């Protein structure tokens, strides 16, 4: 066959495993960009770079070098006022299986402390990809804040009729102006049960991520400081870089791109 004998007997060498020192340097680099990553996400990030490593080994290295993050309980300001005269809608997503983009949107509000007071953030996520598609910031927690986030989401997505909008029972989401805008665009309206945060777990999870990976690591003096830091975190870090366990350790933007390709 005119083939060299050495080619016939060639055996591919197994890739050498990185040493603990090499792994630790890579872990520190990831931890610098994402200070609140746990060992599971660090493992996923390394695997995405082609480094096959056992997560138990990553956990050991992070524990020995004090790189495991510990979450502290923070002062809580309640943002849901469900004592209002507006109609309440049933929970439509309690047993729903979410299989496509723009099938369900979830909305929520949270507070962010600044030097002498609080400001408030409204966010809307696509429940399939977890992408933040609308958000707004204000010194007042009112219907205008919620409407600003909704209008941004509508401009960005232009969803088909029948998309479900899910939120808590807060007065901002039950107000006539907010509900009328939802109905104008053909939404089905869904609300959590009273006093049950698990009914809006996706939005709650986003807010927790935002607090622990950006807000609690920073100090803001003014509402402009918040906008200058929180908005880039949402767009550049959360939507485009942060790995989500619920998406198979992919960022929302990458997940949506992959999802759309599969749908073609």
Per-residue pLDDT tens digits for 150-204: 999 999 999 999 999 999 999 999 999 999 999 999 999 999 987 676 778 899 9
- 120 and 182 in a single domain? The answer is yes
CATH code, domain carrying 123: 3.30.420.10
Confirm whether 235 is domain-assigned.
yes
Total domains, the chain: 2
How far is residue 17's CA from residue 62's CA, in Å, rounded to a whole number?
18
Which structural domain, as residue segments, surrounds residue 31?
Answer: 15-64
Which residues have a Cβ under 8 Å from the Cβ of 233 and sit 6 or more positions away? 210, 213, 214
Q: Are 28 and 67 in contact, with CB atoms under 8 Å apart?
A: yes
Confirm whether 160 is domain-assigned.
yes
Where in the chain does DSSP place strands (E)? 104-113, 118-126, 132-138, 164-167, 188-191
Total number of residues shown for the chain: 264
Q: What is the CA radius of gyration of the chain?
A: 23
Per-residue pLDDT tens digits for 30-69: 887 787 787 788 888 888 888 888 878 888 888 888 777 6
Where in 81-146 does DSSP place strands (E)? 104-113, 118-126, 132-138
Confirm whether 6 is domain-assigned.
no
What pTM was estimated for this model as a whole?
0.76
């Amino acid at each position: 066959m005119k083939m060299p004998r050495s080619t016939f007997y060639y055996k591919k060498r197994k890739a050498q495993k990185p040493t603990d020192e090499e792994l630790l340097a890579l872990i520190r680099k990831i931890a610098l960009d994402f200070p609140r990553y746990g060992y599971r996400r660090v493992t996923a990030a390394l695997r995405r770079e082609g480094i096959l490593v056992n997560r138990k080994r990553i956990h050991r290295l992070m524990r020995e070098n004090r790189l495991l993050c510990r979450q502290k309980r923070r002062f809580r300001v309640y943002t849901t006022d469900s004592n209002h005269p507006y109609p309440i809608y049933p929970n439509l997503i309690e047993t729903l299986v979410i299989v496509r983009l723009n099938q369900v949107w979830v909305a929520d509000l949270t507070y962010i402390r600044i030097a002498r007071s609080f400001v408030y953030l409204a966010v809307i996520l696509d429940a399939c990809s977890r992408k933040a598609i609308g958000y707004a910031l204000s010194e007042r927690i009112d219907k205008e804040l919620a409407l600003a986030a909704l209008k941004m989401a509508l401009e960005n997505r232009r969803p088909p009729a029948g998309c479900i909008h899910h939120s808590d029972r807060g007065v901002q989401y039950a107000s006539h102006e907010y509900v009328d805008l939802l109905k104008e665009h053909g939404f089905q309206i869904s609300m959590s049960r009273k006093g049950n945060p698990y009914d809006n777990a996706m939005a709650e999870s986003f807010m927790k991520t935002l607090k622990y990976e950006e807000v609690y690591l920073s100090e803001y003096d003014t509402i402009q400081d918040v906008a200058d830091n929180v908005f880039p975190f949402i767009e550049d870090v959360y939507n485009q870089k942060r790995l989500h366990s619920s998406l198979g350790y992919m960022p929302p933007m990458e997940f949506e791109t992959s999802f759309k390709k599969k749908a073609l």
